[in-house]
Amino acid sequence: MDAGAVAAALEDALFDARQDSRHEDLADDVRGRAELAEWERIDQLLAAAVPGTVYDPETDDVVQAELAADAAAAAAREAELREAARIAARADELQALRRLGTLEQAQSRDGDEAVREELTRRAGGYAQADVDAWLARALAAHLGHYRVPAAREAAAGLLPQPVLAHAALLAELARLVPGTDADQLAFAARLATTDPEATGALAVFLARARS
């Protein structure tokens, strides 16, 4: 568009704005005001440019920045949808393993902390004791994705305190009595659920005693 075409579009937008102001139901038309402001910006852009300059949105930094922001937002929404689908599919998988009684044989994966939240949401907010115990054992023994130190560090901000306390106590008990069967340590989960702070303190005490 050349300066004349932009000026004509600006005049049309001004006319529409004046017309809207006369009608109470259109006085607060946000879209109309935004359109007017955009034509004013483009008019000023050409006024400051070399005479004869033609407006091209592909060379307009403001327009290109808006398009880039829109594309980034769309990509972020798509990524969120993919992640939500992944979490739902993994939650379905863990539910199936629970029904088969083989959850303990599964390896934890990156993102299972979010899957735990999804399972809790599906249960109406009730804690998933079996999933919590499974994650605690994996964290304590460095199984699955918890083999990676960064994943273990991240768990401190992703898992609730009872699960972390349970894992800490299991780790110390395993060092104290190597080879102990998991069923013999079922009391650790009950302690962590009842009083996670005291359970964590016990784990710290055992670590000190061992050292």
User: What is the structure's pLDDT at 23?
Assistant: 67
Domain ranges of the chain: 3-55, 66-210
Q: What integer best gives the mean pLDDT of the chain?
A: 90
From residue 206, alpha-carbon distances to 42, 152, 169 in Å are 71, 20, 8
| Residue 53: pLDDT band with limits 50, 70, 90 | confident
pLDDT-wise least confident of 27-31, 94-98, 204-208: 27-31
pLDDT at 26 over 60: no
User: What is the structure's pLDDT at 24?
Assistant: 60
> How does pLDDT run across 144-200, given as a tens digit for each residue?
999 999 999 999 999 999 999 999 999 999 998 888 887 889 999 999 999 999 999
Q: Which two tokens stand for residue 63?
A: 């327009």
The reported pTM is 0.71
